[in-house]
Each structure stands twice: as structure tokens, then as C-alpha cells.
Amino acid sequence: MNDIIVIVGFSGVGKDSVANFLHKNYGYNFIQSVTSRPMRGYESEGDPYKFVTGVQFEQMDREDKFVEYRAYYTEFGVWYYGVLKSDVLDNEKYVVVLDYEGYSDFKKVYPDRVKSVWLYADDETRKERAIKRGSFDINEWNRRLADDKARFGDLDLVNKFDVIVKNYDFEEATTSIINQLGLI
């Protein structure tokens, strides 16, 4: 079976770091998302996203091309992010970072392939990590905190995820994930 490991958690909890670890050390492929947000200076087409216009994204949605997608309302307008059905092949194993709704959508489409990981760290730890990444903006951070609370506020985690891991020490967290998912 070629699993799809879905990593879910609050902003700054280390989801991308864990996904990169699984990619580099266990051969899991990334599922590249499509986005309508503007490309940043250090990005290029296909790295890290497939970039399209909002109109193109909406057309793809009308044509039912997405496994899952989300709209984020920013001061600059609506930014869409989504995963194309055509990018998830039967004979490949994947790791993908999603929000809870995205995970739920993946679970509906690929019920026998999805293994889910909830990654957790407290607000102060996450803020410290966000600051260390550079270009920290307190307004953006506060927006992310509010978004996290809105998206995950009353979620009963124990019944929703295969693995729940606190990420205060990266090596301990990844070892726990590997053991709980049986990747060794």
C-alpha cells in the first residue's frame, strides 16, 4: 500500500520540517499544491507551488479537479490553495501538510491510504519558531493564531488522528511519528 501521510497542526508547529524529514529519509513524495497567491521573490513556478490566477483556480474547481482546496481571505484578496486529483498517483507514497478540512477531504477520497499526524506545540514555542524563520510580522502572526483557533478550536483530536505528537524536540517528535506509523 502506498500511504499518504497527512500532517496537520497549528502554524509554526513544524509541519513542513516533519514533511521534509519524511521525504528525505523515507522516500515520501511531496504533493505539490496549486495556489492563486502571488509568487514571492524566492519562489519560482513549481517551487514550492504551481501558481495560477484566481480565475484559473475557480475554473479548476468548477471542473472538479481538486481533492481539496481552501480559500484564505487576506488584506490583499482571496488566496486559494488546493491539491489536484491528477497529482495523486496510485503507485506512489506521499506526505502532505494540510488543515483539518483538507485532511478530512483526503480521508474521504483515499480512505485506505491516509495516515494522519497531529503535530502540537504551545503558542510561545510556535511564536519563537516563527521569529527565527525571519520576516516576522506581528499582524500576520495574530491572524494565524486567530485562524488556528477558528479552524481547530473545538476539535476532538484523540478521535480524529492516527498519531498525535508534541513537537518540542524534533528528533523525539520524528522518532515518535516513525514508530507510531510503523515506518521502521
40-67 tens-digit pLDDT: 888 889 888 999 999 999 999 999 999 9
Which amino acid, one-letter code, is at 13?
Answer: V
pLDDT of residue 160: 87
Pairing of strands 114-120, 163-166: parallel
Q: What is the distance between the alpha carbons of residues 8 and 11, in angstroms, rounded to a whole number?
A: 9
pLDDT of residue 153: 67
What percent of the chain lies above the pLDDT cut of 70? 96
Architecture of domain 1-31+91-184: 3-Layer(aba) Sandwich (3.40)
CATH 3.30.63.10 residue window(s) in the chain: 32-87
How many angstroms from the chain centroid is the CA of residue 29? 14
Q: How far is CA 183 from CA 15, 141, 177, in A?
A: 18, 34, 8
- Rounded to two decimals, what is the model's pTM? 0.84
Q: Is the peptide bond before 48 cis (omega within 30 degrees of 0)?
A: yes
Q: What is the distance between the alpha carbons of residues 82 and 125, in angstroms, rounded to a whole number?
A: 28
Number of helices (H), then strands (E), belonging to the chain: the values are 6, 9
Nearest alpha-carbon partner for 77 in 59, 94, 57: 57
φ, ψ at 183 (rounded to 5°):
-85, -5
CATH 3.30.63.10 for domain 32-87: yes
Question: What is the chain's mean pLDDT, rounded?
Answer: 89
CATH 3.40.50.300 residue window(s) in the chain: 1-31+91-184
